[in-house]
Amino acid sequence: MNIIDIISKTKRSEELSDEEIKWLVNSYTSGETADYQMAAWLMAVCLNGLTERETVSLTLAMRDSGDILDLSCIDGVTVDKHSTGGVGDKTSLVIGPVAAACGIKVPKMSGRGLGHTGGTIDKLESISGFRTELPFADFAKIVNTTGFAIISQSGDLCPADKKMYALRNATSAVDSIPLICASIMSKKLALNADCLLLDVKCGSGAFMKTQEDAEKLARLMERVGRAAGKKCRAIVTDMDSPLGNNIGNALEVREAVELLQGKVKGPLYDTCIDLAANMLELAGKGTIEQCTAMAEEAVSSGAALDVLRRTIAMQGGDSSICDDVSLLPQAKFSHEIRASRDVRIVAVNSEEIGMASLMLGAGRTVKDGDIDATAGIVMACGVGDNISMHAPLMTLYSSVCSDFSEAAVRAVRALTFEDI
């Protein structure tokens, strides 16, 4: 077998064998296949797709490229959750503590930012001292103690995906249903939790722009998960508008903490409660109505915030941010955008808001690039809001960009107005 033949077959939409896919994954992981060769194959997949059998084979090969965790040392039912990514999606920082406060164990392995969407690991690393790379024994101890922990992909867990994930980001090979499925499910199956909830985002700020594509990805991931013997559920949630008001790493941690403090309601709160309730139901904690009530109580009682506080402390972070969010990193520069006339907000293009945030330094434009933890956007308006002339629309933040003109133009163009 050789990489040229494999690229050529996918370019011609010819189905690869299981052996060819396994060879491709292993040769790329070992370094035998170069980045530029794998990039060519990934682009061929983006253009021509893979069959369901090829997608299952790719997922399992990527899972088997490294270790598969043994979570038997964790007491109780383990439930993992994954989102396909969106703008302002900080739900993992909320629903992990909520579900843990309700009595299930949430061991989570997350990734870094990909394209215009933020990564949970980048967000957590904006907390001073927070360690996302931990030995497995320490990870399991934290989960057994607090019920919840998040770590980054180690070198031994899905190394094939770790390399491919960064390469896709740098070569515009992100928006492919088979590649998204294989990337997500290989990590989830390597983590090896008992139950798996998949949050498939749909809308302008998601990789899946249409309901049809979102449903296709959701069903594909469910079939892959169940084929691997997992209790798996995928639900489609809205990403036509940013999820919450804050976009950017430290800014999103701030909003997540404020939600757990009881200060944030609205669509972000509702989505988090719904996702947590589904996790609890998968784990056998009751009906969806009972699990919803449990999740709401975990927030209102402060139990979920306490889980987050203890988890941050055990992962080496400054847990005092749970009581004082001003201790999170602060941007050196800011720019407020105000309405030039009386308007109503008709729509918000989430992807464009995400791209504006990336321009400020909140995301990566090159493989393994640096990010500015303080950068991002805080929205002061949402769809349906009436905004008076000179009232704030949003504020841009950065510590690496002091000229906001280009990002401001892009951010404003993300809003659709009508005069009132």
Domain ranges across the chain: 3-49, 71-325, 330-419
Superfamily for the 330-419 domain: Pyrimidine nucleoside phosphorylase-like, C-terminal domain (3.90.1170.30)
Same CATH topology for 3-49 and 330-419? Answer: no
DSSP code string of 286-310:
S-HHHHHHHHHHHHHTSHHHHHHHH
Average pLDDT over residues 269-289: 97
Average pLDDT over residues 321-326: 98
Class of domain 71-325: alpha beta
Helices (H), 31-125: 35-48, 52-63, 92-101, 120-124
Average pLDDT over residues 265-278: 96
Q: Is the pLDDT of residue 111 over 90?
A: no
Confidence of residue 117 (pLDDT cuts 50, 70, 90): low
Q: Is the pLDDT of residue 115 over 80?
A: no
pTM value is: 0.88
Tokens of 351: 């992807």
User: In this predicted model, what pLDDT tens digit does every residue of 333-349 receive, in sequence order?
Assistant: 999 999 999 999 999 99
Average pLDDT over residues 308-320: 98
Confidence of residue 207 (pLDDT cuts 50, 70, 90): confident
pLDDT of residue 166: 85
- Residues 6+ away with beta carbon under 8 Å from 20: 1, 6, 9
Tell me the pLDDT of the chain averaged across its residues.
94
Q: Is the pLDDT of residue 350 over 70?
A: yes
The Cα–Cα gap between 232 and 298 comes to 24
Rg of the chain (C-alpha set): 21
CATH dotted code for 3-49: 1.20.970.10
- Residues 6+ away with beta carbon under 8 Å from 259: 94, 244, 268, 269, 272, 299
Query: Which among 131, 90, 101 has a CA at the least distance from the CA of 306?
Result: 101
CB 21 within 8 A of CB 58: yes
CB 410 within 8 A of CB 356: yes
pLDDT of residue 194: 95
DSSP code string of 365-387:
SSTT----TT-EEEES--TT-EE
Confidence of residue 369 (pLDDT cuts 50, 70, 90): confident
Average pLDDT over residues 223-238: 92
The residues that are catalytic are 82, 161, 168, 183, 187
User: In this predicted model, what pLDDT tens digit does every residue of 120-167 receive, in sequence order?
Assistant: 999 999 999 999 999 999 999 999 999 999 998 776 889 999 899 889
Task: Quote the distance between the C-alpha of residue 269 and its chain's center.
Answer: 17
Query: Which among 145, 119, 94 has a CA at the least distance from the CA of 272?
Result: 94
DSSP code string of 319-352:
GGGGT-GGGS---SEEEEEE-SS-EEEEEE-HHH
- Residues 6+ away with beta carbon under 8 Å from 326: none
The Cα–Cα gap between 146 and 148 comes to 6
pLDDT of residue 83: 87
